[in-house]
Chain A
Amino acid sequence: MPRSPFVPIFLGDRTRSRYLLRVTEQPRLAEQNAAVLLPEPFVKWFGEKGWSPRVHQLELLAKAQARQSVLLIAPTGAGKTLAGFLPSLTELANRPKRKPGEAHRGIHTLYISPLKALAVDIERNLGKPVEEIGLPVTIETRTGDTPSHKRQRQKLVPPDILLTTPEQLALLIASNDARRFFEDLRYVVLDELHSLVTSKRGHLLALGLARLRAFVPQLQTIGLSATVAEPDELRRWLVAQNPPKNSKNTEMAGLITVAGGAKPDISILDSRERVPWSGHSARYAIPEIYEAIKQHRTTLLFVNTRSQAELLFQELWRANEDSLPIALHHGSLDVGQRRRVEKAMADNALRAIVATSTLDLGIDWGDVDLVVHVGAPKGASRLAQRIGRANHRMDEPSKAILIPANRFEVLECRAALDANYLGAQDTPPLIKGALDVLAQHVLGVACGGPFDADLLFEEVRGAAPYAALERETFDRVIDFVATGGYALKNYERYARIRQTKEGLWRIAHPRVAQQYRLNVGTIVEMPELNIRYVRQGRGMAGRGGPVLGKIEEYFAEQLRPGDNFLFAGKVLRFEGIRENECVVSNGAGANIIVPSYAGGKFPLSTYLAEQVRGMLADSDRWKTLPEQVADWLRLQKEKSVLPKRGDLLVETFPRGNRHYMVAYPFEGRLAHQTLGMLLTRRLERAHARPLGFVATDYSLAVWALDDMAALFKAKKPSLAALFDEDMLGDDLEAWLNDSWMLKRTFRTCAVIAGLIEKRYPGQEKSGRQVTVSADLIYDVLRSHEPDHILLQATRTDASAGLLDVSRLGEMLSRVRGRIMHKHLDQISPLAVPVMLEIGKESVNGGANDTLLMEAADLVEEAMGR
């Protein structure tokens, strides 16, 4: 071979040069381009290393030098990060030296990542080539952990490249010297863009970018992203939108796509054991999982929820006869413990690690040679990303095993697997910019200096999520920021921002800016309690033990002193709750409770749902399924029917002295729960006397005292009328207003919008205090001003997130005229999984007073009254 065929992707992997890549794309062209685009020291450096730049890196450089903003889509390990920084580095290399006495130059490049750790990693890995090439470039991070003296110094002597997070950008923008600080800014590099844009953090970032563009109109953005379904959405996101006259947005960043590396080697566990009908523990497969761990160097085990992680970890240790080093990692654990696990992992000291989505993004994990995914992967792109964890060499296939926890998950795994081979990707759809985030931003802008409402409106509309924002809504947001935006004009004298004589809005008091700085950001945690460990036998009197992590408050509240539960892989005895701490000691025993966590439950993606429906309908595809699962489907076909791909199957059957209806929409648990609530309301009105319902990711069961099949037959109502889309009107509205979910959402919106404070100076409010007041505020506001802008924002959020209303709406419209009713004498095979869930899950209704009544009756009984 004339020269080394390898180029490093030393930055893309954020680690050592053990990741070598084969050049596959026209090396000669790359070399030619390199000569044109790369300054001499770079060419020399590449030469010394025996490397050459990759095509997409040069392509990006060319586009950037042509003053274009760019989106680079590439799989993990393709040298994305170096590509993103090449335009900055080459430009900085050519910049004349600062003469002594000359003013310090401002920031040249801003790098924004979703994770603090990622920024820190980049600093380390970008520093090396900068030093070796001999570039006069300074690189620094600025995160929540950066000490204040360093922040102050950064304001006076800014680095050339600043690595930071969306929250820090919001803070920088809100300072009164922001315009000067950013005046020399040339590039903004946005890492992991696909994961940033789908949340409210993305909205805040989009608004921040719009502000930067107002400071520096010629600013260029460079987005780095994993493969996404709709690249055009991200391309629009990266550049200013100009929506006014024609409604269609045409402004888009340039696009560079790098094809994926080697196809991963994925299999579904074809277990010798019987695959259960329902449940999520995958306990049946523990011996086979343990065997796989033994056969590999390092195994990463992914699960979908933290409770699954605790369970799996516990079960693996029970099977761990060889005492292999197996560790646990999830977001509720104490940070110190997580860091220890991460370090052990990087040092290759572990054989297996059980993890949740905390590891979805970010850092490298030593030499992982197997990824085991327990439970259904829920979304095809999530699966792709997780499998990307194993083996960062793009030219070697990653190895992964999927472990379905129940029979429906077998179907889902199969669909995910097919999707991965087809390269199909799905990410949550981008949603319209949230108004609570806009309110936060408006106040931030005012903290930075007086603003003109007309100009700010145009600027905000330049941000893709807010491109369709209406002026009337914008004005209401300003009104909200100023005085709360209430119909009762009572707070004029307490306004946070006021209009000057010239018509500019400015903050009314320096204290406003101080409070803003403490509350910036869009991440609002569920109320959580620290888990404090005390020695056994000390009970609540015990003090001073270590904190093991955090647990959601509502779980702790269900526990009785003496209850045993599983956390951090240990059995803990609940002693009690003391202020914001849950006090525990060593536990033991058989009846161990596993905490449930509200977070981390992903719905089945639309794409996968479609695939699963397709698989059900097509018996030719059953050949690829394990025999026992294929048998199950054949039996269903025989006893009942399997729906066609676009149809909705509804079965009815009697059982015991009740009547059941089971529907199979495959739209995910959230959408099914919402559907269940609404159907029960309707059945109640039709006097079917419904008693309850239960929802899974795949299906939904409702039971009633009356024969629902007879009602459908008599068209009182017909099945089509029962499933009519109009349920999303008044029924939804009425139910929503009483829903606890809305209260929870309101709390988040209120904190983000700055109505309730996250923190006061020197005093951290505990979750409980915020919750209580947010609930009370919600009640008062709802009864006195139901159209208030914050309630509007809350309803929008709840519909999109917790209730999945849009998905339910799409489903209802899709199945119109395509509902297939099958009445049976008994339960069908397909109905078994959901029927097994009955009783496991409580139906959250308005029955709280009934519980109180029971408790009161117990007292009366005992007292003989």
Chain B
Amino acid sequence: MNFSLARATLIAEADLVGIAGERAVCDRRGVLYFPDLRLLCVSDLHLEKGSSFARRGALIPPYDTGATLLRLQAVIADYQPRIVISLGDSFHDGGGAGRMHLSFRERLEALMAGRDWFWVAGNHDPDAPADLPGEMVKELAVGSLLFRHEPSKLLRVEGEIAGHLHPCARIVQRGRSVRRRCFAGDGGRMIMPAFGAYTGSLNVLDRAYLGLFNRDTLMAYMLGAERVFAISGAMLRPG
């Protein structure tokens, strides 16, 4: 293993969480990094969501792909992962990759160069993105971990990493409400926050998450400006 000094100091032991025996960093920017595997996982990029809306007449700013890639570039530069897994809904629709502005495509290809890149199939993008490198998979097992887009319906899983639901969490402290995107995990399963610039979010207490977590050990790792805040499930509020 060949950690550079900069990378090593990036990870404090206290910030690591355990998932099925693997150690991972819940990065405040919304990516999951496994230092021992040199594996970076990012979910729900929803690239070209802007142009997808524009096709239907809502001309929202065409800068989402650029903004998302810029943030992705920053985390990849920090961690220098060997493996990158894009956990589904990488593009907002099947035609997204084809619509991408040339400059963005070049930027994305530069990010992919020199590492193993997996596109996990999502409900928005079940097929491989057009003319882009990387390997298309339905799901991916790495050691004790299983990466897939939609969380499985099984009640007890060990080491499942999923996306799809765009979790956020809300607390009320001193009469004020704070809502943030979050990682949601109970030690066995981890659901990733959505990374895309135009992706909304859904409270982890919503019905859609029913049966996915052991409520006693549920933690929300809420994304803050400087760090991630680990909040226990009991403190969370719906809405």
Contacts and interface: CB of A to CB of B under 8 A. Distances in A.
Interface of A: 483-484, 486, 488, 490-491, 494, 496, 509, 511-512, 515, 554, 556-558, 560, 576-577, 755-757, 769, 772-773, 776-777, 779-781, 783-785, 788, 842, 848-849, 851-856, 858-860, 862-863
Given A557-B239, A851-B176, A491 B57 contact: no
B60 A577 contact: no
Contacts of A494: 51, 54-55, 57, 59
A575 to B, nearest CB: 11
5 contacts: A515-B57, A773-B200, A780-B198, A784-B61, A859-B232
Given A494-B55, A494-B57, A769 B200 contact: yes
A781 B237 CA distance: 30
Contacts of B155: none
B177 interface: yes
A756 B54 CA distance: 11
Nearest to B225: A849
Interface in B210-234: 222, 224-226, 229-232
A286 to B, nearest CB: 28
Nearest to A790: B61
Interface in B161-189: 170-178, 180
A856 B59 contact: no
A784 B63 contact: yes
Contacts of A769: 200
B62 interface: yes
A772 B49 CA distance: 14
B158 to A, nearest CB: 22
A560 B58 CA distance: 37
A855 B57 contact: no
B178 to A, nearest CB: 5
B121 to A, nearest CB: 25
B235 interface: yes
A785 B59 contact: no
A496 B235 CA distance: 47
Contacts of B171: 851-852, 855
B67 interface: yes
Nearest to A540: B238
Given A483-B59, A777-B60, A851-B174, A859 B235 contact: yes
A699 B188 CA distance: 56
B107 interface: no
Given A851-B173, A852-B222, A858-B235, A490 B58 contact: no
Given A576-B238, A781-B61, A783-B67, A772 B201 contact: yes
Sorting the interface of chain B by its residue count into under 10, 10 to 19, 20 to 34 or 35 or more gives 35 or more
A776 B238 CA distance: 21
B64 interface: yes
In the complex, which of the residues B176, B178, B230, B239 has the most CB atoms of chain A within 10 Å of its own CB atom? B239
A779 B50 CA distance: 14
Given A852-B222, A852-B224, A557 B54 contact: no
B230 A856 contact: yes
B77 to A, nearest CB: 19
Given A576-B238, A784-B66, 13 more contacts: A484-B59, A511-B57, A554-B177, A577-B239, A755-B60, A779-B197, A780-B61, A783-B63, A785-B63, A851-B171, A854-B174, A855-B171, A856-B231
Nearest 9 pairs of A and B residues by beta carbon: A484-B59, A784-B63, A851-B173, A856-B229, A490-B62, A577-B239, A772-B200, A494-B54, A852-B229
B7 interface: no
A757 B58 contact: yes
Contact of B235 (A757, A780, A788, A855): A855
A765 B229 CA distance: 31
In the complex, which of the residues A483, A776, A858 has the most CB atoms of chain B within 10 Å of its own CB atom? A776
B176 A496 contact: no
B101 interface: yes
A844 to B, nearest CB: 9
Contact of B59 (A496, A509, A779): A496
Contact of B62 (A488, A509, A755, A854): A488
B135 to A, nearest CB: 29
A491 B176 contact: no
A556 B237 CA distance: 12
Contacts of A509: 57
Nearest to A482: B59
A852 B180 contact: yes
A776 B198 contact: yes
B229 A577 contact: no
Contacts of B201: 772
Contact of B61 (A777, A842, A860): A777
A425 to B, nearest CB: 40
Contacts of A560: 172, 237
A772 B197 CA distance: 11
